[in-house]
Amino acid sequence: MDKVLIRELRIETVIGVYEWEKQIHQSLLIDLDMAWDNRPAAASDDYQHALCYETVSNKLTALITEKPIELIETVAEMIATYVMAEFNVPWVKVKVMKPGAVPTASAVGVEIERGHA
C-alpha cells in the first residue's frame, strides 16, 4: 500500500477541558498516514494525480482552529473523517499529540485508524 505522510504538523489552537485551557492557545502535533495510490503521479510526474500534503495540512489547520475543542480524541476523529471525505482517502492513521499536557511526559496523545487499506 502506498501512503502519503505528514509528520508533526504543528497546530496552535484552543484545546482542553479546564477553564484555564479555554483561555489560551496550545500546540498539537499531528501525524498522518494516508493511503494513496502514488503510481499515477509517479508515472506522469503530474501534480494533479498527487495527494497534496500542503493542501491537506492547510485544510486541517483551518478545521482544527475553527472553534475550541476539549478532547484530542475529538480532534483525531475530526481529522480522519475530514481527510477521508474531502480527499477521497480510503484509509488513514491519525496521531494527535499534546506536548506539555502532563508535566512528567514530553507529550500525551491518541492514535486512530479509520477506513480500509
Active site residue 98: yes
The three-class DSSP label of residue 114 is strand
Q: 59 φ, ψ to 5°?
A: -65, -40
From 3, 22, 95, 98, the catalytic residue: 98
DSSP 69: B
Contact status, residue 86 vs residue 59, Cβ threshold 8 Å: yes
H-helix segments, 7-71: 39-44, 53-65
Q: Which residues are catalytic?
A: 98
